[in-house]
Amino acid sequence: MSYVNTLWNSEKEDVWFSALNKYWSGRYVKPSHLAVEKEFYPLDTNAVKMMNPDQLKIKDAFILIKIMKNKAKELNNKFNTSSWTPRGIDMILWVCSR
């Protein structure tokens, strides 16, 4: 099973935080691209770390929507399109989690 599949199917918080740290450490994003990546993906990791998936609050929803909006913007810029939407990102995540 690939690393992505292992990560996606993992329910262990430390596995997800490890992947997030690897992503931002320059291991997956070129150091020269980090500033651009952070501009398109301004994620407050502490706010996400504080979320309880079993008891999401309204403020958590706003953060998650912001993440999906930024991801849609990033994909639209990357592929020079306007077809990616936050709802599309949400549907992909929902299907992948089944």
Domain boundary assignment for the chain: 1-40, 44-98
pLDDT in tens, 25-34: 766 767 777 6
* Residue located via tokens 């099973």: 1
Q: How far apart are the first and last CA of the chain?
A: 17
Cα separation, 97 vs 41, in Å, equals: 22
What local confidence, expressed as pLDDT, does residue 45 receive?
72
**Over 80: is that where the pLDDT of 19 sits?**
no
pLDDT in tens, 42-74: 566 777 888 888 888 887 887 788 888 888 888
**What is the pTM for the complete model shown?**
0.50
What local confidence, expressed as pLDDT, does residue 98 receive?
61
